[in-house]
């Protein structure tokens, strides 16, 4: 599937983007191993979150839905999962395979997990290494990539793990394995990462301690089923936040968006660039802070992105690169080498696409330098860009059309449904001139 975006337009209206992907994944995982029933509202019915749901169905968990974002999970308790009949296929979902690795390490049975072509290129030693330290038997494919085979049946021991890189997936994997280990498992992170796993464990009644940059829990406890209201995903809201910032005469309200402090790097960075962003109706839902986000057009300025914001905005950078292309002056990103091992090499793929549209974008080993086009309405031309089946790249170039002088053809946009199934409809609703070619 390809996207074709026509140039120009303004972005206006009030919308609610789909539920947070990170929280949707975790609601299924923890609900499945809890005692009793867990109900979820606002569940993201995208391919990634459905991959997690289907994996637990394959392990004997009865799950009703999703229907209009509502899911009912009949928990089997911490030791109630059953061996699947075959391998677990998790599609494009790095969160599923990495977090599930931690849970699978504590089971009595063997499981093999693999994904699509993109996922099977992503590094898995980062979770395999700490799990082996805990006593699990974990085999990876060639080059430390999927498929992942976890043999199960090993008695896990608690460890303290100093993470070499800031990664919520690695942290969560170790903590989830810690549920099945003897003693106190702790993880120290070099920079803050999203803390949905810790918050949700507490929501299920499982104590999690935090001391400075170290998070810990004691194994052997049980989880109790709860109700979860999933906030709208700030990563999905980002495309519309950037769109309204760069398109003249724009004013948009994004309802019920999660503003977890470990996820608001995009708001901090856009504000530092001069973005006009207001957070209204702040409240807390199920332990997660939410707000309605209002964004109006602004003339953005290029900045040096503070490195402490990088882990807080790691998934939002493709869209932020489009904001940088529309800013006045140079934007410099450093300390973001993690972007090179996402669904695609997001630094190189975004640089290639921006260059194809006439933007000065120079990739560096751990970031990028982008020379913005400033106040000029058409800061980029039209043309063809390759998104290498990376959903966030495809959606980022879809909003780039707002400041282009000619149509943009976005090749390989088929994975958008993994995280944002109704993106095309919502984009059209607010004024982005986006079409689809099968």
Q: Which of 25, 31, 41 is nearest to 63 (CA)?
A: 31
Q: What is the pLDDT of residue 438?
A: 83
Q: Do 85 and 144 belong together in one domain? A: yes
User: Do 173 and 181 form a contact (C-beta atoms < 8 A)?
Assistant: no
Q: Do 342 and 217 belong together in one domain? A: no
- Please state the domain count of the chain: 2
- CA 198 vs CA 75, 104, 173, 272: distances in Å: 19, 18, 11, 29
- Alpha-carbon distance 436 to 3, whole Å? 5
Residue where one domain finishes, among candidates 229, 251, 268: 229
Kind plus residue range of the DSSP H or E element containing 22: helix 21-32
Q: Do 214 and 314 belong together in one domain? A: no
Q: What is the pLDDT of residue 287?
A: 82
Domain range for 42 is 21-229
Q: What is the pLDDT of residue 308?
A: 93
Q: Which of 395, 83, 112 is nearest to 233 (CA)?
A: 395
Q: Do 301 and 325 belong together in one domain? A: yes
Q: Do 248 and 184 belong together in one domain? A: no
Tokens matching residue 8:
């120009």
**Residue 31 φ then ψ, to 5°:** -60, -35
Residue where one domain finishes, among candidates 212, 229, 246: 229
Q: Do 235 and 177 belong together in one domain? A: no
Q: Do 174 and 190 belong together in one domain? A: yes
User: Do 333 and 307 form a contact (C-beta atoms < 8 A)?
Assistant: no
- Alpha-carbon distance 213 to 16, whole Å? 33
Q: Do 45 and 159 belong together in one domain? A: yes
Given the structure tokens 């509502």, which residue do they identify? Answer: 70
- CA 155 vs CA 173, 298, 309: distances in Å: 16, 56, 38
Q: Point out the residues that are catalytic.
A: 315
Given the structure tokens 């450093």, which residue do they identify? Answer: 334
Residue where one domain finishes, among candidates 229, 246, 263: 229
List of residues 6+ apart from 34 with CB closer than 8 A: 73, 75, 77, 204, 222, 223, 224, 225, 226
Q: What is the pLDDT of residue 415?
A: 87
List of residues 6+ apart from 20 with CB closer than 8 A: 42, 44, 196, 230, 231, 232, 233, 234, 235, 258, 288
Q: Mean pLDDT for each 10-residue chunk of the chain (438 residues)? A: 96 96 96 98 94 98 96 98 97 95 97 94 95 97 96 95 94 98 97 94 96 97 96 97 98 97 96 98 91 98 96 96 98 95 93 98 97 92 95 97 97 88 96 94
Q: Do 315 and 174 belong together in one domain? A: no
Q: Do 343 and 262 belong together in one domain? A: yes
- Alpha-carbon distance 48 to 419, whole Å? 6
User: Do 351 and 368 form a contact (C-beta atoms < 8 A)?
Assistant: yes
Q: Count other Cβ atoms within 10 Å, centred on residue 249.
A: 12
Q: Do 219 and 283 belong together in one domain? A: no
Q: Do 110 and 49 belong together in one domain? A: yes
What predicted TM-score, i.e. pTM, was given to this entire model? Answer: 0.88
Q: Count other Cβ atoms within 10 Å, centred on residue 106.
A: 25
The CATH number assigned to the domain holding 310 equals 3.65.10.10
């Amino acid at each position: 599937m390809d996207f074709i975006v026509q140039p120009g337009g303004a972005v206006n209206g009030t919308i609610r983007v789909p539920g947070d992907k990170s929280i949707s994944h975790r609601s299924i995982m923890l609900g499945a191993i809890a005692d009793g029933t867990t109900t979820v509202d606002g569940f993201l019915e995208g391919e990634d979150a459905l991959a997690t749901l289907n994996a637990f169905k394959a392990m004997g968990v009865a799950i009703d839905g999703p229907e209009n974002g509502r899911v009912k999970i009949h928990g089997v308790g911490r030791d109630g999962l059953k061996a699947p009949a075959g391998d677990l296929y998790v599609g494009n979902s790095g969160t599923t395979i990495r977090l599930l690795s931690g849970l699978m390490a504590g089971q009595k049975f063997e499981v093999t997990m693999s994904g699509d072509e993109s996922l099977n290129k992503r590094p898995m030693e980062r979770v395999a290494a700490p799990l082996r330290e805990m006593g699990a038997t974990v085999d990876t494919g060639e080059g430390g990539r999927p498929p992942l085979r976890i043999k199960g049946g090993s008695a896990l021991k608690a460890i303290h793990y100093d993470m070499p890189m800031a990664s919520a997936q690695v942290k969560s994997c170790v903590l989830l394995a810690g549920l099945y280990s003897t003693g106190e498992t702790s993880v120290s992170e070099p920079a803050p990462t999203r803390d949905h796993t810790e918050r949700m464990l507490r929501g299920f009644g499982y104590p999690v301690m935090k001391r400075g940059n170290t998070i810990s829990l004691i194994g052997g406890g049980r989880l109790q089923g709860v109700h979860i209201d999933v906030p709208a995903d700030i990563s999905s809201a980002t495309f519309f936040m950037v769109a309204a910032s760069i398109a003249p005469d724009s004013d948009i309200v994004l309802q019920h968006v999660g503003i977890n402090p470990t996820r608001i790097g995009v708001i901090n960075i856009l504000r530092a660039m001069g973005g006009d962003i207001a957070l209204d109706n702040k409240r807390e839902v199920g332990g997660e802070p939410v707000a309605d986000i209002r964004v109006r057009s602004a003339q953005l300025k290029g900045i040096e992105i503070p490195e402490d914001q990088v882990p807080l905005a790691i998934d939002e950078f493709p869209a932020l690169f489009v904001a940088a292309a529309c800013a006045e002056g140079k934007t410099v990103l450093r300390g973001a080498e993690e972007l090179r091992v996402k669904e695609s090499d997001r630094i190189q793929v975004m640089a290639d696409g921006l260059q194809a549209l006439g933007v000065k974008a120079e990739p560096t080993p751990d970031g990028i330098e982008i020379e913005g086009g400033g106040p000029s309405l058409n800061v980029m031309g039209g043309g063809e860009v390759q998104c290498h089946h990376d959903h966030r790249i495809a959606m980022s170039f879809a909003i780039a059309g707002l400041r282009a002088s000619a149509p943009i053809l976005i090749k390989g946009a088929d994975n958008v449904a993994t995280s944002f199934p109704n993106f095309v409809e919502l984009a059209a609703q607010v004024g982005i001139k986006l079409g689809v070619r099968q």
